[in-house]
Amino acid sequence: MGHVRHLFTAFRCSLQGIAAAFRSETAFRQEVAVFVAVALVSLALFPPAAAIGLIAAWIFVMALELLNMAVESVCNLVSGDIHPLIKKAKDAGSAAVFTAIIANGALWVAALLLLRGKS
């Protein structure tokens, strides 16, 4: 029974993390809005398997944003100063999110080109 309790505790902590990100991070709120658009447009335009892939790719962006928030939170806790290593960590987190957004853009271009080719 302890495993089930752990599962529910982990689920609750995850929801609290998502709620905290939504409350405190403008970028995360923007990514949630894009997620809604991605889900609606992809489900309207593409076959289910393709739509699920496009939606999952955007969920990956949001997951990276949550990790970026975690890195920034720890950096801010450790030091209020702008240390070169803290700047490097924060910039790397931001870059991870950025590269995932670029990859999503490439996926959408490819998906739309494939869709156009079937018309």
Q: Which of 25, 31, 65, 72 is catalytic?
A: 65
Question: Is residue 65 annotated as part of the catalytic site, yes or no?
Answer: yes
Local structure of residue 81 (DSSP, 8 states): S
Burial class (CB in 10 A: 0-12, 13-18, 19+), 107: middle
* Environment class of 32 (CB within 10 Å of its CB; exposed 0-12, middle 13-18, buried 19+): middle
Q: Active-site residues: which are they?
A: 65
